[in-house]
Chain A
Amino acid sequence: MGKLKIVGCQALSLAALVVGWEAAVRLGLVDPLFVPAPTAVVRALAATAGEALPRLLDTLVKTVIGYGLAVGLGVTAGLVIGSMRTVHQVCIPYVVALYGVPKILILPWIALIFGIGLTTAVLSATLFAVFPIVLLVAGGVRDLDPALLTVATSMGASPWQVYRKVLLPAVLPSALAGMRIGMVFALLGTLLAEMFAGIRGMGFLMQKQAMAFNAAELFAATALVSVLSIAVVVSLEHLNQRLGKWR
């Protein structure tokens, strides 16, 4: 089966889903109070776009700031932890544990200290995104082929040159992998913070619509966020491919 046919089948399936769903609502098989018809969702999307788009931007900004912090912190910590054997042995179990603990548990504390605004959401994004980045970067450094270092040193490279010209390029793939995962986690962290203790952003909006039983508006907001996150992931993927081209 060709690529085109696959895409066709995918489009057809999704279209069938939407049509079936619309029919189910119209025929009264599902309660539009809980599951609004796709047409109603589209109408709600148009009606609430004025309110939703600035909130979407708000969420995106917080995510990007939190993500930037997470990348800076995570890559630095990953390089440090990965470069020193003892530090790696001592610290990694803690990083793994922090990665494994549900971050939602700590969210109330952040909200308690920083209130219900921008800072909480940004820190939440950082908290969610930083650990996978640390783990992947540190792992990338540890997996580095020692022969590469030997070759570079034998050719007279200074420690700084080894770092710049051997270590960083070699670690780049796992760093990029970590940054890709980190992006989704950062968005997750922002939305969760907004849902838990927000007064702005898409997370807050969605939670509000849910509480008010505005199903169509809620679905519209959900669709917007989904599209945003897929767009972010896809564009990151593109960037990734361009950066990784030399490989």
Chain B
Amino acid sequence: MKVLALRAAVLLGLLGVWEVVAAPLNPILYVAPSAIPGALLRVFRVGELPPLPEHVWLTLREIAAAYALAVSAGLWLGFVLGLQKTLGRIYEPILAALYAIPSVVWYPSLMLFFGLGPASKIAFGLLLGFFPVALSVLAGIRQVDRHLITVAVSMGAGPGAIFLKVALPAMSATLVGGLRAGLALSVVGVLVGEILGSRAGIGYLINYAYGLFMTAEYAGLVVLVGAAVLALDGAAGLLEARVRRWAS
């Protein structure tokens, strides 16, 4: 309780300081927190900016497509490399090395290949989200306790039952962590793509407001998107905690 109060106090204090500091400064560079709600309302209403819901809807669809593809590809490759030990030993280090390269280096190539439209954003979101999913499958498979498989076999479990009732639950905690990280990165990929160059989507709006020096509107959009991303990740976190209830 005391901690919650302190947390709120810290947040309010920072906002207060910011308000006082920003008030006399150039509003194009420094937006006071009090200006944000009004700016957000304007984002929804004013005709100067393109209509928000349409762009949000496009971004959501891009994220959904990117994430669905990332999960499919990540699960597939993860299981192929995890279950075929030899393939895994050859290709997992390559996968890990690719993951160590800062992902943005791939974006210009994707843009060149897929153009400025949604395809390049989806491709980038896919690329980013793919790695944590695939790597979590690999890590998860390694974590499956051999002894549990022996126990299941001794009770008559065949390959299907071993996979569904032993391997999958045993790796679920790791896997769900990877799926959550993949979702976060798919979102980042789509947003980065949109902000670096696009003609539609929430990232385009953010860039648009920034380009026209509508800094309050920009800040409002950033607060909105940031809160949405945190809420999404929080929801994924709750789901993750539920799945791994047995673990801790």
Contacts and interface: CB of A to CB of B under 8 A. Distances in A.
A–B direct contact (CB < 8 Å): yes
Interface string A163-198: 000000000000000000000110110011001100
Contact of B225 (A14, A105, A108, A219): A105
Contacts of A188: 102-104
B206 interface: yes
A81 interface: no
A125 B3 CA distance: 32
Nearest to B232: A100
B29 A113 contact: yes
A193 to B, nearest CB: 10
B229 A101 contact: yes
Contact of A222 (B89, B106, B188): B106
Given A90-B6, A196-B195, A233-B100, A102 B112 contact: no
Contacts, number: 128
B192 A10 contact: no
B90 A10 contact: yes
Contact of A34 (B113, B207, B229, B230): B113
Nearest to B194: A104
B107 interface: yes
A93 B11 CA distance: 11
B233 interface: yes
A184 B100 contact: yes
B91 interface: yes
Q: Give the secondary structure class of A's interface.
A: helix
A203 B222 CA distance: 23
Contact of A218 (B102, B109, B195): B109
A176 B111 CA distance: 35
B10 A102 contact: no
B22 to A, nearest CB: 12
A86 B109 contact: no
B192 A206 contact: no
B159 interface: no
A13 interface: yes
Interface of B: 3, 6-7, 10-11, 28-29, 86, 89-91, 93-94, 97, 100-109, 111-113, 184, 187-188, 191-192, 195-196, 203, 206-207, 210, 213, 215, 218-219, 222, 225-226, 229-230, 233
Interface of A: 1, 6, 9-10, 13-14, 34-35, 86, 89-91, 93-94, 97, 100-102, 104-109, 111-113, 184-185, 187-188, 191-192, 195-196, 203, 206-207, 209-210, 213, 215, 218-219, 222, 225-226, 229-230, 233
